[in-house]
């Protein structure tokens, strides 16, 4: 029998229903793999072995009774940003030390209602602020991918670095993740996994630790396109507890796979051809265009003229919302408390010790751009530019474009503690240059592995769709996957 942990979610579904193995055997295989690998990869910050075995046992009973649900017995990992009842939920921040919520996030509740098994909580950048998973209080995650003939540790990307690394290293069958500026898509691209950030409002934000509320969306990271379709269908729902959850039925995304893309209009935005972009990425993009054309799609050149302002807009809007959302961490209601001579000093000491450097930096920027006298110059102007960014996409879609194809990232995975990046926060922010516009406009975006660079490291392509048209993305992504093939790291851990 093939290694159980190498099976996709679709294969698990078939194998469990054919009684080739049990859910308990599968979960035990994963728990063993985590035990052996986590010391090296640091993908999990909490493993819930007992709970996992209990859930798997219940799944086996369901299967025996012929009552299997959509994700019955499928072992998944959960980003530490999702509230899981009675289980470690700290957004990988020191300030949430010991926090165990008394409630369950809607997204994870949906997964458990569909029979999924929780293996544990996954490492991430602190409060999802970062592009390398190095801002986690629990230390960096190591990418299971290494360059050819190199033993150098690489980052898995961020902020969902633990999710991407765990999926790529066969430490869970699929993982939940979140994306505020690229936090699902960039790590997926760095690890040759598939990641989709659905339309804003598709997955409930209830019970997910808030970073920037107008941008945050949950989505899955999986090993292939089909698994992403299966998992997103479970995660997405209409939720009365989130007023921005949109009341549109969740389609069967899997049914879109294999549908022809003949006649689809795929837009190629010229503004994504950025200065200094490596030739390999340019070549990969061209390959993607050829695959689409060969499959019958019509390629059209489009212009999204405000693309170049998206990152600057993001670094006003996101910190502003974060400074407001993170005001709640004051040492009173949960987590860390550092004493002071009075209550104000207690707040200040708690927040100084509890938040890491990147989080403090963003709270400071956010507080500044919202402060009296600066609001109009920074925040209001940024929200106006955001309207223009969204209008660029609206115009392209109105002109008949069905989806947009771009590179996923401006480079492959880089080294841990890269000095060039560590000393310049803005340089690190440039990682999200291709992904951040999608959040600004609330659109669905998906990255698919498309090839390896000359060092043997994965590169991805991104597809951007109309609001609530994830199905077209799955259709087109499936074509890329069929053309590019799949990529696996060679196991060194």
Partner 1 sequence: MSVDTDTVKRVAKLARIAIDEEAANRMTGELNAILGFVEQLNEVDVTGVEPLTSVIPVAMRLRVDEVTDGNKAADIVANAPAQADSFFMVPKVVE
> Which string of x and - marks every residue 298-327 that binds partner 1 (by CB under 8 A)?
--------x-xx-xxx-xx------x---x
Q: Determine if 368 is a binding residue for partner 1 (CB under 8 A).
A: yes
Among 20, 28, 298, 348, binds partner 1 (CB under 8 A): 348
Closest residue by Cα to residue 328 from 211, 416, 242, 433: 211
Which residues, in sequence order, are CB contacts of 413 under 8 Å at separation 6+? 143, 145, 154, 155, 156, 157, 190, 191, 457, 458
Q: Determine if 274 is a binding residue for partner 1 (CB under 8 A).
A: no
- Quick one: which segment of 12-20, 72-80, 242-250, 279-287 binds partner 1 (CB under 8 A)? 242-250
Q: What is the DSSP letter of 455?
A: T
With contact defined as beta carbons under 8 Å apart, do 434 and 212 qualify?
no
* For partner 1, the closer CB: 259 or 360: 360
Among 17, 61, 113, 371, binds partner 1 (CB under 8 A): 371
Distance of closest approach, residue 276 Cβ to partner 1, in angstroms: 16
Determine the 3-state secondary structure of 77 from DSSP. Answer: strand
Phi, then psi, of 10 in degrees rounded to 5: -60, -40
Which residues, in sequence order, are CB contacts of 91 under 8 Å at separation 6+? 80, 81, 124, 126, 127, 128, 209
Among 39, 66, 98, 249, binds partner 1 (CB under 8 A): 98
Which of the residues 59, 79, 93, 160 is marked catalytic? 79
CA–CA gap between residue 276 and residue 119 (Å, rounded) = 41
* For partner 1, the closer CB: 201 or 269: 201
Q: Determine if 276 is a binding residue for partner 1 (CB under 8 A).
A: no
136 is catalytic: no
- Quick one: which segment of 64-72, 225-233, 361-369, 403-411 binds partner 1 (CB under 8 A)? 361-369
CA–CA gap between residue 31 and residue 47 (Å, rounded) = 8
Q: Which two tokens stand for residue 57?
A: 């046992």
Q: Determine if 252 is a binding residue for partner 1 (CB under 8 A).
A: no
Angle between helices 470-484 and 279-294 (to 10 degrees): 110
* For partner 1, the closer CB: 14 or 240: 240
With contact defined as beta carbons under 8 Å apart, do 13 and 90 qualify?
no
Among 33, 63, 184, 336, binds partner 1 (CB under 8 A): 336
Q: What is the DSSP letter of 144?
A: S
Which of the residues 131, 160, 183, 323 is marked catalytic? 183
* For partner 1, the closer CB: 44 or 334: 334
Q: Determine if 332 is a binding residue for partner 1 (CB under 8 A).
A: yes
Of residues 448-477, those binding partner 1 (CB under 8 A)? 467
Q: Determine if 352 is a binding residue for partner 1 (CB under 8 A).
A: yes
Of residues 375-434, those binding partner 1 (CB under 8 A)? 377-378, 380-388, 390, 424-426, 429
Of residues 1-60, those binding partner 1 (CB under 8 A)? none
Among 20, 69, 147, 244, binds partner 1 (CB under 8 A): 244
CA 354 to chain CA centroid, Å, is 24
* For partner 1, the closer CB: 287 or 391: 391
Distance of closest approach, residue 183 Cβ to partner 1, in angstroms: 17
Closest residue by Cα to residue 266 from 110, 480, 412: 480
Which of the residues 93, 131, 132, 159 is marked catalytic? 159
Give the burial class of 152: count Cβ atoms within 10 A of its Cβ; 0-12 exposed, 13-18 middle, 19 or more buried.
Answer: exposed
Q: Determine if 251 is a binding residue for partner 1 (CB under 8 A).
A: no
Residues forming beta bridges with residue 464, ordered by sequence position: 404, 445
Residues in the chain: 493
CA–CA gap between residue 93 and residue 216 (Å, rounded) = 18
Q: Determine if 199 is a binding residue for partner 1 (CB under 8 A).
A: yes
Distance of closest approach, residue 105 Cβ to partner 1, in angstroms: 15
CA 320 to chain CA centroid, Å, is 21
Q: What is the per-residue burial (b if ≥16 Cβ within 10 Å, else e) of 349-377?
A: bbbeebbbebbeebbebbbebbeeeeeee
132 is catalytic: no
Distance of closest approach, residue 190 Cβ to partner 1, in angstroms: 23
CA–CA gap between residue 38 and residue 28 (Å, rounded) = 15
Q: Determine if 184 is a binding residue for partner 1 (CB under 8 A).
A: no
Secondary structure tally for the chain: helices H, strands E: 16, 11
With contact defined as beta carbons under 8 Å apart, do 92 and 137 qualify?
yes
Q: Determine if 364 is a binding residue for partner 1 (CB under 8 A).
A: yes
Number of residues that bind partner 1 (CB under 8 A): 75
Among 73, 77, 101, 158, binds partner 1 (CB under 8 A): 101
Among 14, 240, 255, 283, binds partner 1 (CB under 8 A): 240
* For partner 1, the closer CB: 103 or 290: 103
79 is catalytic: yes
Give the burial class of 455: count Cβ atoms within 10 A of its Cβ; 0-12 exposed, 13-18 middle, 19 or more buried.
Answer: middle
Distance of closest approach, residue 352 Cβ to partner 1, in angstroms: 4
The set of catalytic residues is 79, 159, 183
């Amino acid at each position: 029998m093939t290694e159980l942990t190498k099976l996709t979610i679709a294969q698990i579904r078939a194998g469990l229903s054919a009684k080739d193995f049990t859910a308990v055997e599968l979960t035990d295989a994963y728990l063993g793999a985590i035990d052996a690998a986590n010391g090296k990869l640091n993908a999990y910050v909490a493993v819930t072995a007992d709970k996992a075995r209990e859930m798997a046992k219940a799944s086996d009973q369901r299967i025996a009774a012929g009552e299997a649900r959509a994700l019955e017995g499928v072992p998944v990992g959960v980003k530490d940003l999702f509230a899981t009842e009675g289980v470690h939920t700290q957004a990988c921040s020191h300030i949430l030390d010991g926090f165990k919520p008394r409630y369950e996030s809607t997204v994870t509740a949906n997964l458990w209602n569909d029979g999924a098994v929780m293996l544990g909580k996954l490492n991430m950048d602190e409060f999802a602020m970062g592009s390398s998973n190095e801002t986690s209080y629990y230390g960096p995650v190591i990418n299971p991918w290494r360059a050819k003939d190199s033993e150098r540790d690489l980052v898995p990307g961020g902020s969902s670095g633990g999710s991407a690394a765990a999926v790529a290293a066969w430490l869970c069958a699929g993982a939940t993740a979140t994306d505020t500026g690229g936090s699902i898509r960039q790590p997926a691209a760095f690890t040759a996994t598939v990641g989709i950030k659905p339309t804003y409002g598709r997955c409930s934000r209830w019970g997910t630790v808030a970073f920037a509320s107008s941008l945050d969306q949950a989505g899955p990271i999986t090993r292939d396109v089909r698994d992403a379709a299966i998992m997103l269908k479970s995660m997405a729902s209409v939720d009365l507890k989130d007023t921005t959850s949109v009341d549109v039925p969740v389609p069967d995304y899997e049914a879109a796979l294999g549908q022809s893309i003949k006649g689809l209009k795929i837009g190629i935005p010229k503004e994504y051809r950025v200065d200094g972009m490596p030739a390999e990425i340019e070549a990969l993009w061209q390959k993607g265009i050829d695959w689409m054309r060969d499959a019958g799609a019509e390629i059209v050149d489009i212009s999204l003229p405000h693309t170049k302002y998206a990152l600057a807009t993001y670094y006003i809007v996101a910190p502003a919302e974060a400074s407001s959302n993170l005001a709640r961490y004051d040492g009173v209601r949960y987590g860390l408390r550092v004493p002071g001579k009075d209550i104000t000093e207690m707040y200040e000491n708690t927040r100084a010790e509890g938040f890491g450097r990147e989080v403090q930096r963003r709270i400071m920027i956010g507080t500044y751009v919202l402060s009296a006298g600066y609001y109009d110059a920074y925040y209001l102007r940024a929200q106006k530019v955001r309207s223009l960014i969204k209008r660029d996409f609206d115009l392209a879609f109105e002109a008949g474009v069905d989806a947009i194809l771009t590179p996923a990232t401006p480079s492959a995975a880089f080294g841990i503690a890269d000095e060039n990046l560590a000393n310049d926060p803005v340089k690190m922010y440039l990682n999200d240059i291709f992904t951040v516009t999608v959040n600004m406009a609330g659109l669905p975006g998906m990255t698919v592995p498309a090839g390896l660079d000359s060092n043997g490291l994965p590169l991805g392509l991104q597809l951007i769709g109309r609001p609530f048209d994830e199905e077209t993305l799955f259709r087109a992504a499936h074509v890329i996957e069929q053309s590019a093939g799949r990529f696996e790291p060679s196991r060194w851990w």
